[in-house]
Chains A and B, each alone.
Chain A
């Protein structure tokens, strides 16, 4: 078992609170899928329905084409690790990891070998004899992860499994989790609120917000063609800039500025009904060209308002010369031109990096 299909699943809690609304997606065999979104968006409810810990209010969950709605957690052969560790406090780390194996009736020698392997992979060898209470939160979380992975399940469900680890350890754990996924050759569904973590780990991203599916796709698809304004805003750091503008023609938008109207071409198609209407232009801070002098007629001037050094790169915040004095962020890599406070700089937007939105959704169709 390793392909997962969710067909129109709903989670409705008492009092008609909708946790998950009509969600349909497929996670392919051997895929690493991240479910990403802000808290309260329905991520954990979805994962718990897959695990069998939460009843499915409507719709069907299929594992390899077989409906599993009525199967209990133990009958689904999935492994789970949660943000809260749920370790047995009176057992040692070794016994905690051994628990699911012994429950399956595996011999002691076999159990021992498997534990040694997973402890090695997650670097837990030195703490196998300790009790959970003697461990820091990050270590406990790793034990919980080891317990989930030791069974070599065909489907691994992970809910914020490394959120309590400090930054340095998180970099290591991402590498380890990805390595284990590849070595096991299984299917992994991973819940996180951290977009950078989701991007670095997964093959595809599923974005949930306010109980609804926003978009599912590869990192490139989500990055280059966000379908909703929420997705555009949520994925990427710093967040996408939004500027008020107007559609002038089938492939042309404009932004009014104190220097007059600035027009830009964009690639892709839009419904002609938008021509002549006010829309929002989205440009990513990483995909905005900044120059110290005016290089093109369309370049928009802005004044440097905030400079934030970030190590290998710097974030600039510019106040544009449009009527709303929109603040726009730009990423400048180390070694590029340096700007000072209150400098005037010029921004250029390339056609392929321009996104357009109405109130909620993207209105450019590419390909």
Chain B
């Protein structure tokens, strides 16, 4: 297995800059995810690593060796795509065995080939399907065959592009667990592309968030979840997504307040004030800053909780099994708070005015880089 490194890699399609000066290292045996919305440049990066697309500038290294000029077959990578690209006239067995039969890789004995194909097919739960042709498979089964074909041999690096995107929810979660098991069991280097943050958080040792061809943040899943570098990264993770609120910086005496409405003003802890001011912007003569807080870090009560508490009317309540999500409507966005049932009951009425309290140790402030208005 190899270490894969990108240094200052860019990709132009004509005049359009698809990938803009990207650098990162995926260490040997690491599970490395590239996350971002459609069109961010994720697949382009994967194709440049595979050698299917040439880089416009910069270098791709496998184990410190530049591979820019190597054709795909000499890079020894194994790929799975979102579109399955199965050979329709081959059985599932032959589709999975295909990469093992490439002439330049030396011939396996039939028994050895069967052993490897059956092992990966059983692992992914498609062992029963080996004799079928692709046309008799569901979309989810086809996708798992595509994945098995990518995982059947041991290359320098696995490149997986949305390999479980088409599985239904239940199967997606179980296949995700299998992939993670595969990665640890076989100590594989895996570079994984997805638009689904949950897959990336669950699977990765390291991940990057990509936006319009540029890296927004690189780090461990915990770092990205707990300390998002930008409002964009914050918005990408969490269900419901992180609350982003724009408010005015107001001084009252020695205290600095974050004010987002007539009744919604909270004194900000001293250690956050610098950050809050640093990311502020001027709008209509006011200093506006952007606050981020996850729904888990907001407390609700019928009684005032602390001097920082403020009041809002309930817009809607969604009861889930172990918690409830209470929604409040702000001027230009919704605010979500989670009430865990073991902590407090959640029997508020619609439009009832309740007290909210933000846990300041989990507040962050961001520069405005995206529009947060209601959809």
* A contact set with B: CB distance below 8 Å: 38-39, 123, 138, 167-169, 171-172, 174-176, 178-179, 182, 193-196, 199-201, 219, 223, 234, 236-239, 286, 305-312, 315, 317, 329, 334, 341
Contacts and interface: CB of A to CB of B under 8 A. Distances in A.
B350 A182 contact: yes
Contacts of B202: 308-310, 315
Contact of A310 (B168, B198, B296): B198
Contacts of A341: 184
9 contacts: A168-B240, A168-B241, A175-B316, A175-B325, A219-B321, A308-B203, A311-B237, A315-B202, A334-B296
Contact of A286 (B235, B237, B241, B322): B322
Contacts, number: 100
A223 B320 CA distance: 11
B327 A175 contact: yes
Contacts of A38: 168
B181 interface: yes
B123 interface: no
Interface stretch (B82-90, B158-166, B172-180): B172-180
Interface in B200-241: 201-203, 221-222, 225, 235, 237-241
B225 A178 contact: no
Nearest to A38: B168
Given A194-B169, A223-B321, 8 more contacts: A171-B240, A172-B374, A175-B316, A193-B169, A196-B320, A199-B319, A308-B177, A334-B296
B61 interface: no
Nearest to A314: B202
B284 interface: no
B325 A306 contact: no
A123 B317 CA distance: 19
B336 interface: yes
Nearest to A183: B350
A194 B319 CA distance: 15
Contacts of A312: 238, 294, 296
A220 B109 CA distance: 56
Contacts of A168: 235, 240-241, 375
B34 to A, nearest CB: 17
A236 B321 contact: yes
Q: Which of A123, A174, A179, A238 has the most CB of B within 10 A?
A: A179
Nearest to A165: B375
Contacts of B318: 174-175, 178, 200-201
Contacts of B336: 171
B36 to A, nearest CB: 13
A97 to B, nearest CB: 17
B307 interface: no
A317 B319 contact: no
A41 to B, nearest CB: 12
Contacts of A334: 296
A171 B321 contact: no
A176 B350 CA distance: 12
Given A286-B322, A310-B202, A178 B317 contact: yes
Q: Which of B177, B225, B321 has the most CB of A within 10 A?
A: B321
B348 interface: no
A199 B321 contact: yes
B170 interface: yes
Interface in B334-374: 334, 336, 350, 374
B33 to A, nearest CB: 12
A196 B173 CA distance: 14
Given A175-B318, A199-B320, A311-B225, A306 B184 contact: yes
Contacts of B177: 306, 308, 315, 317, 329
B81 interface: no
A178 B316 contact: yes
Interface in B71-103: none
A306 B321 contact: no
A200 B296 contact: no
Nearest to B196: A167
Nearest to B169: A194
Contacts of A223: 321
A312 B173 CA distance: 17
Contact of A306 (B180, B222, B239): B180
B334 A175 contact: yes
Shortest Cβ-Cβ A-B pairs, 8 listed? A308-B202, A200-B318, A171-B240, A175-B327, A175-B316, A179-B316, A169-B375, A178-B316
B7 to A, nearest CB: 28
A334 B238 CA distance: 13
A219 B319 contact: yes
Interface in B137-186: 168-170, 173, 176-177, 180-181, 184
Interface string B309-329: 000000111111110010100
A138 B375 CA distance: 10
Q: Which of A239, A311, A317 has the most CB of B within 10 A?
A: A311
B321 A311 contact: no
Nearest to B328: A175
A238 B169 CA distance: 10
A201 B374 CA distance: 20
Nearest to B185: A305
Nearest to A327: B177
Contacts of B225: 309, 311
B239 A123 contact: no
Contact of B319 (A172, A195, A200, A234): A200
A174 B317 CA distance: 9
B239 A171 contact: yes
A311 B201 contact: yes
B158 to A, nearest CB: 17
A195 B170 CA distance: 10
B334 A172 contact: yes
A58 to B, nearest CB: 30
B6 to A, nearest CB: 24
A305 B181 contact: yes
